[in-house]
Chains A and B, each alone.
Chain A
Amino acid sequence: MRKAVSLSDWLYRRGFSSPERKYMNPDGTATSRVFALREKDDGELSVDVKSLIEARVSVGDPDKFMLFEIANKDVLNLNLTTEHDPLPNAKSTAHNPAHAVILGMDIEDEIMPGLLARKSKRVYI
């Protein structure tokens, strides 16, 4: 059963990064591509609820991924919604009690990924 994520919570989103970090911006911030939807997302961008998971767990392999955080209120201010969607669920057998989704994005909308990236901050593990 999904529930809205608390207004005061923060969300984690991870992005692929090499040791040279060439997939991130030169200043270490997230590119818009970190927050871009893909077809298999079915319009739901996966994130983790910060209060429910350790950053080190959320990032998985820190040699391969960078972690970014964004305030849920910033997401909601963009007229998006967020729902806590713990895994496993009907679509996934993975185990992640902190999993949540950002709803309301359109895969053809290139503005929203850029805005989310610009509102996010890198989490140093």
Chain B
Amino acid sequence: MHPLIDNYTAFAENISGSAYSTISETINNYGPVSSIIFHVDVPDIPYLNEREIQLLQEYKLLQDGWDGDGAKAPTKRALMLASYLLKLLQSFGQKAFHVAPGPRGEIMIDLRNKYKSIELLFYGDKAKFVMFPDSSDPKQGTFELNMLPELIKWLNA
């Protein structure tokens, strides 16, 4: 059993080792993502991120200016990638804390474990991650799918 498990973190007992190793070795961009579905031992927690997936459906309806201050509507690509990530996280047994639209058409997925958190940000033309540790300085970078297992491992360590 992994330490520091709460309602917002991974159900570690449902994550298989093969999911970690297979993905990190074979996936390095968004192209072949569908292939990993067949390599992951999908745990039986189909509704873990259903709230967030439903929110994405609602965010699809947002139009430019949705926040009354000129925010851009979420881009199709951001919505598609965020939806895919939420389902992938679900297959890992990783609960998302929240998903929210941003002013530049981005979608943010927020993952939390006590005082640590990760934000995954999907824009129309790029994706970024930010790691917020409990004590040291945060770190940001370009997000690539092959980073996901390591990011989740860091969050739940």
Q: What residues of chain A have their CB less than 8 Å away from a CB belonging to chain B?
A: 15-16, 22-26, 31-33, 36-40, 64-65, 109-111, 114-115, 118
Contact = CB atoms under 8 A, between A and B. Distances in A.
Contacts of A65: 68
Interface of B: 55, 58, 66-71, 97-98, 100-104, 106, 108, 110, 117, 119, 121, 128, 130, 132, 138-140
Contacts of A15: 67
A28 to B, nearest CB: 11
B128 A38 contact: no
B57 to A, nearest CB: 11
Contacts of B101: 23, 33
A16 B67 CA distance: 5
Given A31-B108, A33-B102, A110-B140, A16 B132 contact: no
A50 B58 CA distance: 34
Contacts, number: 64
A114 B118 CA distance: 10
Contacts of A24: 100
A118 B115 CA distance: 11
Contact of B138 (A22, A23, A37, A115): A115
B104 A39 contact: yes
Nearest to B67: A16
B71 A16 contact: yes
Nearest to A46: B69
Given A31-B110, A38-B103, 10 more contacts: A16-B69, A22-B100, A25-B97, A31-B100, A38-B104, A39-B104, A65-B68, A109-B140, A110-B140, A115-B132
A114 B55 contact: no
A80 to B, nearest CB: 15
A110 B128 contact: yes
Contact of B100 (A33, A38, A64): A33
Contacts of B69: 16, 38
Most buried by B among A22, A23, A33, A39: A33
A64 B119 contact: no
A114 B130 contact: yes
B108 to A, nearest CB: 6
